[in-house]
Structure 1
Amino acid sequence: MVQEKIDTAPLYVNPDRGVAVLNYSSKYIKDLFQLVNSEELAGIVKVYLNDNSYKKTPSALNDVSVEEYVGVIKDILMNHMDSLKFASTDILNSIEDLYTYYRSLLRISTINKHQNAIIGTSFMNIDNRFNELVLNLYRSVEEKLQGHVNHIYRQVDAGTNACILTQTIKWDVPEKYASLASIRFIDTLMVRPPVMVHTKSNKREGVFSETKQNPIENFKGDRESWYCYPAWVGESLAYIYFDRDYFANGLALGNLFELADEEAVKDRKPDIILLFGSEGATSDTDDNCHYFLDAENDIYVGQVPYNDKTTYFGYMKKMVLTLHNLSMISKHKLPIHGSMVKITFSNGKTKSVVFFGDSGAGKSESIEALQEIADDKIENIETIFDDMGSFTLTGDEQAIYAQGTETGAFVRLDDLSSEVAFSNMDRGIYMNPELSNARCIIPANTYQNIVKHHNVDMWLYANNYDKEIGVHQFDDEQEAKSVFVAGKRKALGTTDEVGMSITFFANPFGPVQKQAETQEIIDEVFPALFKKGTFIGEIYTHLGYDKKKSSLNASAQALLDILMNS
């Protein structure tokens, strides 16, 4: 059964995708009288009553018309309790369900900036007042039905989860991209964490492939239903356009990529354009994600189709990183699938370590294990990048420097210790926390720090399939290169792969698509690192072998000893 939508200028609700968008620029409700008499409240009641997939507490009030339902709310607010045709407990059951139903939606409010500095500095207050208004309505009805005031009050996000300030910016729009010119950019984003998001998909499938047709030719989005998140991905400027039904993903971008400001966007052509929720070329017979190199305008363009599968945030994150990595390869930089940390020891020594490997190999787990067993030997571990970075050959004595791409981390909840998970709860956006492969997007570092030129002291392949324990250093350059290029790992179910797999250079997001070009850079990077004396090796994580924490901790101890004594 297709669930009914609300699609008006002030309010958009798609129950199937669990998203609601409130446009304050179209209509802003200021008081309780306006709210109870609004078409928007009536619309929410209608969607709630018609949504048979939502499990409601039995109540006769759920069987009435929308008009009668709203009338009951009005009678309660005006103290016409004698006029009520239903028992108080019956009404309260339904009102509780209505309130919970509305709050189960991801609720985003928007305000168009219109170059108005007053709105620009007070939009959060505008949204806060609406949240208080919704909370006031709920509590007023609840307490009148109870016959007494509450003894405990919980200040929840009653109205919205987030508010975004948007504006139209004139950028250097090539002629063929004219359909994007009117779509508003996200200027400022305010989030009320922790945000719990539930999507129809919880796993990524397949490999992104090249298409022969520029995806912009099939773009049918418009100003009312599409938004653009302008992001700094490393040093690449990316315009990430998404359909409003993907607001769960668009909101999460704020914890992952630096938001580019108006000055960065104005009159500038991006390096990357992503159309998320757009039709693909008719020649593409699959329903996977695709990319296209617009050589004429020097733009990598990505396309992700609108379907239930692509509601998983991994599609947005990895498509953006694929486009970025392809751009890096064209600039003769080497994309690195891994995590980089700068470790400061209590003795004042610092080391920069890159953990390398495909999804589930144990990169993040190795860092966490190192932190756990270090006790007071480590003063600080700074994350330079959590998932993707790049190596750049300099041609001088420094040989190579590394840079990151993301300011945040997209991590599996199962892989986090309770300490890390709870310490970041007040900043996190959580994806399907009740399911396996549950994810959390948390901020990790500042943009200024991740794009600095970082020295590489150690480069470790995360080996999750062998039974050995500890750290192995490669003495032979060719042996090291063969292990890194083979990209062997035991898949742990974070994607659609199961069992042993091999992925070129452990990176299906760019290098797999451009293997010959990537191999040329690899053949220059390894000799440079060996010439400089960089520690290149592998750490045995055991995650695909026996998953014993003691095994990983033993390997982390071996790593700590090497770092402390080198």
Structure 2
Amino acid sequence: MKAEFLMSRQSAIINFTEKYCDTAEKLLDSNAFRKVLTSYLEKLRKKDNALYNHFIVKTEGDFELLVEELINVFKLLLVLRVEDFEKIQSKYISYFEGRDFFVELIEGIYSFWRRMERYAVVSNSRRGQGLENVGFIEANNDFNNLILSVYRRIEETVMGYQHRVYRQLTAGANAGLIINKVDWLCPPEYSFLERIPFIETVILQPPFITYPKVNKRSGYFEEVFKNPLEDSSINEHHWFCYPAKIGDLYAYVYFHKDFICQGITLSNLFELATEEECRNRKPDIIYIYGMKDFNREMSTVFYKDKENDIVIGYANYNEGIDYFGYMKKMLLTLHNIKMLERGSLPLHGAMVNITTKTNKEYNIVIVGDSGAGKSESLEAFRVLSEEYIKDMKVIFDDMGVLSLDKKNQIVASGTEIGAFVRLDDLDAGYAYKSMDRSIFMNPDKENARLVLPIATYEEVTKRYPVDYFFYANNYADGEELTFFNTPKEALKVFKEGARMAKGTTAESGLVKSYFANPFGPYQKKARCDALLNKYFSILFERNIQVGEIKTKLGIQGMEKEGPKRAAKKLLELLEGVQNSTTEAKPKASPKK
């Protein structure tokens, strides 16, 4: 990143490497402050706002002069009282005719700034007139305090008295990035990506709240057979790379600065790879998010680069992709394509590892598409089980993988260190308890989302033997837990992938998706069919319990009670196994 300061859409990026303001004078003299002030006044002008009209007459309608004079007035207010202007700077005395207007202006600028998503960036690979990464956290805190002090000092000078209540809000950057140049094994056809800096460290100031333009995902990611990056070029100063570890795979995720909130959110979901891990490494996945092309329609496609053994994801620059689902789900699709090629079976669902008070371990997998109630059932289980369970670890809460170990035993592992969950379906106090670690998305809208870390990378990628394997049914009433007797019977339900849509996507009503997983298996049905037959045969051969858990999340009035009842039945099942004198699993009961 070359510029000192960038503003686009609802975000601001401050380049601490190029320019770091450590005094009030530097702050008010900065290009950044001038841009913020100009943008705020332009917003007022478009609305024909009374506040704007009050001040623009001071310069006889000259907008540029108004910006210049307001900056001068703000700087003078650092050293002068309003009463001193008449003696020392009488040309500006008219700005204080009706001090309430000036206080309103100060509050307006401050609120305009704070409503923006604000990011600080420092480079670890070059020197400018700014700041290196040493002490970046402290510098970011100092910058925050500087803005607060300048705002308060100017406002109190105009008011003529001090505030009596001070709120230590985050007025600096909401998030900070330390970036670096990394030498990776870049195939010649992707050489235009080599200059884009990698994110080395992410610093968040919680609660981190973003307001993306879209709050639902729609459609499928389609495979194309011509590389979408062919003959591409890119302005490296407008891009960042988040090197993500997705399960066992490495993904280099390149995102445009205008979608920086989606890139930052990755830090709560996928483990950030180190510079050492990326150096001289060719990634398994490359994802380009926000590439400007000549296509007015939204394009979200993937391509298999067989020559370089890389799966390429591509989302063009479009307002429609401004939803984290297009970032996360594309990456998981690319991951799943790779897993299918390697003979592993990708799962759309959730998995929990449970240790009872008697030190017995159980690993439970629940398969289901978005809104099926898998995550909500696990959360209800966690709440109900505190009295009976010694430890509970969520291994994955969206996408996992079934594979075979050396003994041909089925094991499962995860892909993400975090969860991307629907706020409406969580316990009322859950989000607030997790506020210090969470990233909130459109909390005031339908399908509000929360992204929070839930496990370590080591826990997620460990291979766990599967004990129970359920399909999450959110639309049918009846017995909460039922079991299948044959692979054929089970495969019919799992392949059908039926669920009542909950508003997490653009779908509505009772819908079906192949194996409840439109992220890879849907695109590669033939390959997935073969693996489903193989894995389900082994599940039954190994006497692993395969069944259905009715979460009832899609039934009106059962949004909270349904997952609780399902969790209670699951707990009773484990208690029954635990208390069994033979310590054998219960026989499968016929599906009702």
Q: Is the contact made by 1:218 and 1:281 (CA closer than 8 Å) also made in structure 2?
A: no
1:431 CA displacement: 0.5
Q: Is the 8 A contact 1:215 1:281 kept in 2?
A: no
Paired residues for 1:344-493 under 5 Å: 344-394=355-405, 396=407, 399-493=409-503
Q: Which residue of 3, 24, 47 corresponds with 1:9? A: 3
1:114 maps onto 2:115 in alignment:
no
Aligned pairs for 1:187-202 (under 5 A) are 187-202=200-215
Structure 2: which 5+ runs fail to align?
57-62, 86-92, 578-592
Q: 1:111 to 1:460 in 2, by over 3 A?
A: same
SS in 1 for 2:327: helix
One-letter identity of the residue aligned with 1:227: F
Decide whether the 8 Å contact of 2:210 with 2:261 is kept in 1: yes
Equivalent in the alignment of 1:545: 555
Q: From 287, 299, 318, give the equivalent of 1:288.
A: 299
Q: Which amino acid aligns with 1:217?
A: E
Instruction: Point out the more displaced range, 369-378 or 527-536.
Output: 369-378
Q: CA deviation at 1:468?
A: 1.2
Tell me the CA shift for residue 123 of structure 1.
1.6
Q: TM-score, normalised by structure 2?
A: 0.90
1:78 maps to a residue whose letter is V
Cα deviation per residue 1:444-472 (whole Å; 9 max; x = unaligned)? 11111100111111111100111113100
The equivalences for 1:76-115 within 5 A come to: 76-82=77-83, 83=85, 84-85=93-94, 86=96, 87-114=98-125
Q: Deviations over 1:295-333 (max 9, x none)?
A: 000000000111111111110010111111111111111
How do residues 18-167 of structure 1 correspond to structure 2 at under 5 angstroms? Answer: 18-52=10-44, 58=51, 63=56, 65-82=66-83, 83=85, 84-85=93-94, 86=96, 87-114=98-125, 119-167=132-180
Question: Structure 1 115/528 Cα, relative in aligned 2: closer, same or farther at 3 Å?
Answer: farther
One-letter amino acid of the counterpart of residue 216, structure 1: L
Amino acid at match of 1:130: F
> Matched residue of 2:466: which SS?
coil
2: CA distance between counterparts of 1:235 and 1:334? 14
8 Å Cα contact 1:471-1:559 kept in structure 2: yes
- Give, in angstroms, the shift of residue 89 of structure 1: 1.4
* Alignment partner of 1:506 is 2:498: no
Q: Deviations over 1:405-434 (max 9, x none)?
A: 100111111121133211110111110011
User: Which position in structure 2 is the counterpart of 1:3?
Assistant: none
Asked whether the equivalents of residues 130 and 159 of structure 1 are also in contact (C-alpha less than 8 Å), the reply is: yes
Aligned-partner Cα distance in 1 for 2:47–2:270: 34
Aligned counterparts of 2:209 and 2:341: Cα–Cα separation in 1: 38
Q: Partner letter of residue 75 of structure 1? A: L
**Bigger shift: residues 525-534 or 543-552:** 543-552
Cα distance in 2 for residues equivalent to 1:115 and 1:68 = 36
1:253-285 Cα shifts (integer Å, max 9, x gaps) = 111110000111101100000000014697xx9
Q: 1:100 to 1:488 in 2, by over 3 A?
A: same
Contact 1:56–1:94, Cα closer than 8 Å, also in 2: no
How far apart, in 1, do the equivalents of 2:228 and 2:294 lie?
7
Identity of aligned residues (%): 38
> 1:289: how far off?
0.5
The CA deviation at 1:145 is: 2.2
Q: Judging changes above 3 Å, is the alpha-carbon distance between structure 1 residues 368 and 26 closer, same or farther for their aligned structure 2 residues?
A: same
Q: Given residue 269 of structure 1, which amino acid in structure 2 is its aligned partner?
A: K
**Structure with the greater alpha carbon radius of gyration:** 2
Secondary structure (helix, strand or coil) at the match of 2:369 reads coil
Q: CA deviation at 1:148?
A: 2.2
8 Å CA contact 1:59–1:90 kept in 2: the answer is: no
CA 1:429–1:519: 2 relative to 1, 3 Å: same
How far does the alpha carbon of each residue in 1:40-96 deviate from its partner, in whole angstroms, 9 at most, with x for none?
Answer: 211110011112578978465653621122122123222241333232211111111
Q: Determine the structure 1 residue equivalent to 2:323.
A: 312
Number of aligned residue pairs: give it: 554
In the alignment, the residues of structure 1 paired with residue 562 and residue 224 of structure 2 have an alpha-carbon distance, to the nearest angstrom, of: 44
Change in CA separation of 1:287 and 1:550 when aligned onto 2, cut-off 3 Å:
closer
Q: Does 1:220 align with 2:221?
A: no
Contact 1:218 1:278 in 2 (8 A): no
After superposition, the C-alpha distances for 1:513-535 in whole angstroms (9 at most, x for unaligned) are 00101111111100111111111
TM-score of the pair, normalised by structure 1: 0.94
Quote the Cα distance in structure 1 between the aligned partners of 2:114 and 2:333. 34
- Structure 1 distance, partners of 2:257, 2:531, is 39
2:284 maps to which residue? 271
Contact 2:293 2:317 in 1 (8 A): no
| One-letter code aligned to 1:430 | F
One-letter code aligned to 1:162: A
Question: Aligned AA for 2:4?
Answer: P
Per the TM alignment, residue 550 of structure 1 is displaced from its structure 2 partner at its CA by: 3.2
1:546, CA displacement in angstroms?
3.0
Say which SS state the counterpart of residue 166 (structure 2) adopts: coil
Question: Secondary structure, in 3 states, of the residue corresponding to 1:277?
Answer: strand
Q: Distance in 2 between matches of 1:213 and 1:134?
A: 50
CA RMSD of the aligned region, Å?
Answer: 2.0
Q: CA deviation at 1:236?
A: 0.5
> Per-residue CA shift, 1:202-230, capped at 9, x if unaligned?
11111000112212225332221000000
The 1:542/1:57 distance shift into structure 2, 3 A limit, reads: farther
Determine if contact 2:2/2:18 at 8 Å carries over to the other structure.
no
How many Å separate the matches in 1 of 2:393 and 2:126?
37
Gap runs ≥5 in structure 1: 1-6
